Structure 1
C-alpha cells in the first residue's frame, strides 16, 4: 500500500479498494523477545521491525510464546510478525478495521499467539480517529477468536515523543531513542538497511526513464535475433542448447557487477528477452540462496528500473523473491506490487505476495531455490553451493 498523498487534488473519496494485507517484515536475525511491561521500549523497536520509519500508519505486532517457555524470562514474548497499513487510501478513505482484522487472522506462525499489539502513528494528533480504529479492530479480532492485547498512539518515532495507551487513557510515556533499540542493533549486525521512510524504498525501485528508453530502443533487434537463434536450435534438434546459452549469458552478467562492470542497455535488453524463457527464469530463483545472491539482486533491481510491461514484472518478481528470502519484507512487498502493476495477475507475483501477506516464513519458500537448481542441472549448468 502506498503512502497517502498530502493535500493533492484528485478524485473524490469513494469506496475503499480491496485491502492489501499491509507490509510485513520477517526479521532476518533471530526473532527478538520483548518485555510486555515496557511499552516505550517495544514502540522504539517498531521502525527497525517494519524496515523503515512509519508515518500515518497502523502497525500490528503479533507476539507468540517463545518456543522454550521455561527458559524465557517471565513477562516476555517473541515478535512473530509485524505488518503495516496506511491509515488512509490515496483517495482519503479511512482504513477499514474489519479488513485489517481479516489480514491479521490470516497470518501464519508456529505456536500460540501471546498478544496482538496495535500502534497508530499520526503526526496530525487525531487521537479520536485512532481510538475508533482500534475499537473496531478489537471487535473484529474478537469475532475471529483473537484478542487485541494493547494499543498505542504516537505522533512519530523521534526520541522523546509522547505515546498514549488507547486502551487505558491513564497510561502514557515518552519514547526512547529508536536508534538505540536492541532490534535496530540486530538489524545492523545482520546487514539489513534501516531506512528513514517508505519513500526511500519506492525511490529505490522507481523507473529510470533515460535507461528505460535506451533499453526499449535495443529490444526489437534483440528479440528478432533471439527468435532466429531459437529457431536455429530447434532446426538442429537441440532446443535446450538455446536455453543453456541464454542462461550462461545472464549468469555472466550477474558476475560482471561483482568486478565493477554494469550491463549496458543492449545487454539489459538481452537479459530481459532471456528471462522470457521459463527455464532460464526458473534458474534465476536459485541464485537467491547462492554465493551470488547480492550481485543477482542488484541486477534484478537494475532491470526493474529499466524495463516495462511483462519484462518489468519478471525482473520485479526475482527482486522480490531475493528480498523475501533474506528477510526484507518491505522491499519484497513493494517489488511484488510493481510486478502486479506491470502485469496484473502474474502467477508467481500473486503466489509470492499472498505468501508474504499471510506471514509465510522465507524458509517455507526455498522450494523455488530447489526448482532453480533442478532446472540448471537439466541444462548441464553448475550453480555452485547453496547457502
Structure 2
C-alpha cells in the first residue's frame, strides 16, 4: 500500500485515475482489487489485494484500512484482463462493489465509484462495476502527472509486482546459509558493550555504504559484522538517521544488499532500515514490501510493526522523518559524526 497523497490524480476521470495507479503502487497491478481513498477531495492512501483472496475477508480488511487512513470516500478499481470481457463476470463485479459499499459504510465512508478494467495501460478499457453503463479508455500511465512526480522523486516503477518483490528477496539461499554459519561463529554480541565498540560498528557501516557505492561489493566478513552490529540497539537506532542524511542513497543501497544476502533472523533489521529509508523519502511501495518481508520473518518486531501501522494509516513521510532525530542524538552521545541532513525530494539509492 502507498500512503502518499497525490493531488495531481483526477478523481472524476476514471481513465486518468487508473493510469495513475502504477506510479502510486510502484508496479502495474494485475488480477487486483485496488481501493483509492479520498481525503479532502484528493487522492490519499491506496490499497491493493489479489482478486484471488476470498471476498468475505478481503473486502472488510480493505474497508478497515481505508478507515485507518482517514478516508472520507473511496473509489474501487478491479483489474482483470480475462474477466473484464466476460459477460458472466459482471455479476461477480457487482457483488464486489456492493460488498465494498456496505463495508465502507460501516466506517462512515462512501463508495464513490467502482470501475473494472482489463489492463492498466494506454488503450485499456474500463467500465462501471455496478452496471451503470459508463465506459472509456485508460490513459497512458507513462504520461500521468503522478508518474512524472514519481520519476522526479527518483522512484523506480516496476512492470510487475514480482519485480518489486525481488528488491528484497534472498538471491542465493545457499550462500546465505554460509553467512549464517559465519555470523553464529562470530557472535552473539556481549550484552554491555563499550561505547567505542558501537561507534566502531557505526563507522564500519558508513564505510561499507561508501564501498558499495564505489562499485566494490561488501565482503562476507563485512556482511557478517554488519549483521551482528545491527543487533546492538545503539548501532541500529543510530543508523536510522542515515535515512535523512545526504548519503541516504548509499545507506539505502547497503540495506537492500543486506536484505538480499543475509539469512533470517539477521536480515530483519536490514529490511526495517530499508523500509524506514524508503518511507522517509515517500516510497510507500518499497517500504511496504520491506515491512511485509520483515514481519514474515519476525511478526512481533516492534519497529516494523510501528512503521507498518503508520504506513497503513497514511502517516506522511515528513512525520516519519522526525524519528531520525533519535539517531542523531545517539550519534552525538557516541561521538560519531553522521552525514548532515538532506533536503528531501530526491530518491535515496
Instruction: Tell me the equivalent position of 1:10.
Output: none
The residue that corresponds to 2:15 in the other structure is 40
1:143 to 74, 98, 106: 106
Return the offset for 1:336: 0.9
Task: Return the offset for 1:351.
Answer: 0.8
Q: How does 1:209-220 map to 2 (within 5 A)?
A: 209-220=173-184
Residues 196-217 of structure 1: per-residue CA shift (max 9 Å, x gap):
1110011221112243134224
- After TM superposition, list the pairs within 5 Å mapping 1:272-311 onto structure 2: 272-311=227-266
Does the alignment pair 1:333 with 2:288?
yes
Note closer, same or farther for the CA distance 1:93–1:82 as it changes in structure 2 (3 Å cut).
closer
Q: Which of 105, 114, 120 is equivalent to 2:78? A: 120
Structure 1 Cα separation of the partners of residues 37 and 61 of structure 2: 16
Is the 2:59–2:100 contact (alpha carbons within 8 Å) kept by the matching residues of 1?
Answer: yes
Write the deviation string for residues 176-199 of structure 1: whole angstroms up to 9, x where unpaired: 222222211221222111111110
Distance (whole Å) between structure 1 residues aligned to residue 207 and residue 144 of structure 2: 41
Question: Structure 1 residue 197 and structure 2 residue 160: aligned?
Answer: yes
Aligned equivalent of 2:36: 61
Q: Is the 8 A contact 1:60 1:83 kept in 2?
A: yes
Could you say if the C-alpha distance between residues 159 and 268 of structure 1 is closer, same or farther in structure 2, counting changes exceeding 3 Å?
same
Residues 28 and 120 in structure 2, CA contact (< 8 A), matched pair in contact too: yes
Structure 1 segment 244-323 matched on structure 2, within 5 A? 244-323=199-278
How far has the Cα of 1:270 moved from its partner? 0.4
**1:147 & 1:259 partners in 2: Cα distance?**
51
Do structure 1's residue 174 and structure 2's residue 132 form an aligned pair?
no
CA shift for structure 1 position 99: 2.2
1:370 positional shift: 0.4
Aligned length: 336
Among 371, 374, 383, the residue aligned to 2:329 = 374
Deviation at 1:301, TM superposition (A): 0.9
1:85-164 aligned at under 5 Å gives the runs 85-89=49-53, 95-108=57-70, 113=72, 115-125=73-83, 126-164=89-127
TM-score (norm 2): 0.90
Q: TM-score normalized by structure 1?
A: 0.82
Shift of 1:93: 6.7
Offset at residue 143 of structure 1 (A): 2.1
Q: Does residue 1:241 correspond to 2:175, yes or no?
A: no
Asked if structure 2 preserves the Cα contact closer than 8 Å seen for 1:127 and 1:153, the reply is no
Q: Provide the rounded CA distance (Å) in 1 between the counterparts of 2:325 and 2:47.
A: 28
Instruction: Name the SS for the 1:341 alignment partner.
Output: helix
State the Cα distance separating 1:168 from its structure 2 match: 4.8
Post-superposition shift, 1:173? 0.9
Query: Within 2, Cα distance between the matches of 1:314 and 1:53?
Result: 28
> Contact 2:198/2:234 (CA < 8 Å) preserved in 1?
yes
| 1:5 equivalent in structure 2 | none
Partner residue in 1 for 2:4 = 26
SS of residue in 1 equivalent to 2:44: strand
Larger radius of gyration: 1
How far residue 384 of structure 1 moved from its aligned partner, in angstroms, is 2.8
Q: Residues 202 and 253 of structure 1: is their aligned pair in 2 closer, same or farther, counting only changes over 3 Å?
A: same
- Tell me which residue corresponds to 1:223: 187
1:45 match: secondary structure? helix
Per-residue displacement from partner, 1:114-150 (whole Å, max 9, x unpaired)? x421101112313322221111110121121111111
Unmatched runs of 5 consecutive residues or more in structure 1: 1-22, 66-76
Superposed CA RMSD in Å reads 2.0
Residue equivalent to 2:347: none
Which one of 43, 46, 71 corresponds to residue 79 of structure 1?
Answer: 43
